[in-house]
Amino acid sequence: MTTHSPHDVLAGRDPADLSREELATLGMKLDDVEIQHTADRWPVPGTRAERRAERQVATWFAITALTGLAFLAVFMFWPWEYESPGSDRHLVYLLYTPLLGLTLGLSVFALGMGVFAYAKRFLPEETAVQRRHDGPSPDLDRRTIAAQFVQAGTTSGIGRRRLITRTAGLGAAVMGLGVGVFALGGFVKNPWKGGDKAALWTTPWAPVNGEKVFLRRDTGDPHDVSLVRPEDLDAGAMETVFPFRESDREDEEALVNALRGSDTPVMLIRLRPGTPTVQRKGFENFNYGDYWAFSKICTHLGCPTSLFEQRSNRILCPCHQSQFDAAHYAKPIFGPAARALPQLPLDVDEEGYFIAKGDFGEPVGPGFWERKS
Ligand code: FES
């Protein structure tokens, strides 16, 4: 094989005067590509065998479109809200994620099979040999490469195979739409829908219709409600607690949600007597004597701040070592967290059980785009 220079190949002609075919041929010569064998897979157009092959490829693309549509339908309309194991609709709830995976997986698989089948059944059989090049492509190569691509498309016969191009376009469009909706759909929410009572601003600790919200432990059984009283904690102790309303006692879903919610865990801390404390401006009287309650969700990236060191009154987040001073309204004193842990206002009812006087003083967890503090 001989190496061709642009000068030899052009033989004095201006590249702008060359047709697409000539440019494509030229590009191959410049790339030192030699076609050693080429044969059209369907030398006689329009045979029954060719049409059958075309329908097979189109079927894959049609499956891509159908499963892409099914994915979209599941994503938008399937009832995904939690249903407890005792409910008739628990299976429907359980099927949501598997169906998303199945429909999207089938759509991607069918698209891949369609492309594969097309290449196998319709691209010309070709054997080409190319010499290796070093360094960047010269300017003329860049001009010819586009022509080569178009030429490859033309010789592949894709232009006259309407059934395949239409089904492939439909399949890719529906699947692309499905993936786009999946990726972006979750963001299309109005955080202000519901005003100050919107989900982003409130937690299950917020009082509803004046009903008391008690502090309970998680014993492992949602129905085993163990309420917390001040004498349950020794000085310097910490306990993780969750919200409980009497009206939820028989409602398994509400009980589970309160125990598993991302914004419900609270650290109830009893400081040692005589510990000097600082109350936060605007949140005065949120503590109940030596008892302080803070959201357990770290304000850095949302890990549980599970460690309390009673000698230094420090709360430690194990993820990136942020530390908060429990005696100083859980203000951050070390590490990447920049905001204090949200504080829960505490009180004790007439029967001696801890209750929340209201919701947290600010949104729980890491900041989001429209937080007020
Ligand atoms: S999540 Fe707590 S320090 Fe990073």
| Displacement of CA 29 from its chain's centroid (Å) | 48
Which range is least confidently modeled, 5-14, 154-163, 186-195? 5-14
Provide the residue ranges of all domains of the chain, joining segments of one domain with +: 6-185, 196-356
- Is 90 catalytic? The answer is no
Is the beta carbon of 301 within 6 A of some atom in ligand 1? yes
| Three-class SS state of 253 | helix
239: helix, strand or coil: strand
Query: For 27-54, what is the mean pLDDT?
Result: 86
Residue to probe by mutation, ligand 1, list 303, 324, 339, most atoms within 8 Å of CB: 303
**Torsion angle, alpha carbons of 17, 18, 20, 22, to 10:** 180
Helix 20-30 with 139-156: angle, nearest 10 deg: 120
Is the distance from the beta carbon of residue 317 to the nearest atom of ligand 1 less than 6 Å?
yes
Nearest to 258 by CA among 240, 232, 285, 279: 240
Q: Render pLDDT for 89-101 as a digit per residue (tens, 0 to 9).
A: 889 999 999 999 9
Tens digit of each residue's pLDDT (9 = 90 or more) over 329-348: 999 999 999 999 999 999 99
pLDDT value at residue 315: 97
pLDDT for 207-234, tens place per residue?
888 899 999 999 988 899 999 999 999 9
From the CA of 322, how far away is ligand 1's center (Å)?
A: 6
> Per-residue pLDDT for 191 more than 70?
no
Model confidence at 1, pLDDT cuts 50, 70, 90, reads very low
Average pLDDT score over the chain? 87
Which 8-state DSSP code applies to residue 345? P
Per this entry, what is the length of the chain?
373
pLDDT tens sequence across 268-295: 999 999 999 999 998 988 999 999 999 9
Closest CA to 321 of 334, 306, 302, 338: 334
Q: How far apart are CA 342 and CA 284, in angstroms?
A: 13
| Residue 94 near residue 88, CB atoms below 8 Å | no
Q: Is the pLDDT of residue 20 over 50?
A: yes
- Indicate the helix (H) or strand (E) that contains 363: none
Where are any strands of DSSP class E within the chain?
33-39, 125-130, 214-217, 226-227, 238-244, 266-270, 291-295, 307-309, 314-316, 323-325, 331-334, 346-348, 354-356
Band the pLDDT of 302: cuts 50, 70, 90: very high
Q: Which two tokens stand for residue 2?
A: 């001989």
CB burial class (10 A; 0-12, 13-18, 19+) of residue 102? middle
Q: Report the share of the chain in percent with pLDDT over 90.
A: 50
321-331 pLDDT, tens digit each: 999 999 999 99
Least confident of 53-67, 71-85, 127-141: 127-141
Question: Is 216 touching ligand 1 by the criterion CB < 6 Å?
Answer: no
317 CA from centroid of ligand 1 (Å): 6
Give the pLDDT confidence of 128-159 residue by residue, as tens digits: 888 777 777 777 777 787 787 787 777 777 77
Q: Which of 90, 133, 223, 320 is catalytic?
A: 320
CA Rg value for the chain: 34
Residue 35: pLDDT band by 50, 70, 90 thresholds? confident
Residue ID of nearest Cα to ligand 1 atom 3: 320
Question: 314 C-alpha to center of ligand 1: Å?
Answer: 14
Place of tokens 């079927």: 59
Does domain 196-356 bear CATH number 1.20.1050.10?
no
CA dihedral defined by 276, 279, 285, 288, rounded to 10 degrees?
-40
- Determine what percent of the chain is predicted with pLDDT higher than 70: 94
pLDDT, residue 3, reads 53
Name the residue with the closest Cα to ligand 1, atom 1: 301
Q: Ligand 1 within 6 A of 322 CB?
A: yes
Quote the CA–CA distance of 324 and 139 in Å, as a whole number.
Answer: 62
Residue from 100, 120, 109, 123 nearest 61 by CA = 109
**Residue whose C-alpha is closest to residue 328's, from 307, 314, 345, 348:** 314
pLDDT of residue 352: 96
For residue 202, the model assigns a pLDDT of 86
**Span 161-165, average pLDDT:** 83
CA of residue 53 to ligand 1 center, whole Å? 57
Nearest one of 275, 259, 286 to 308, comparing CA atoms: 275
322 CA closest ligand 1 atom index:
3
pLDDT reading at 372 higher than 60? no
pLDDT of residue 171: 84
Task: Spell out where 73-153 has E strands.
Answer: 125-130
Query: What pLDDT score does 159 carry?
Result: 73
320: number of CA atoms within 13 Å, CB side? Answer: 12
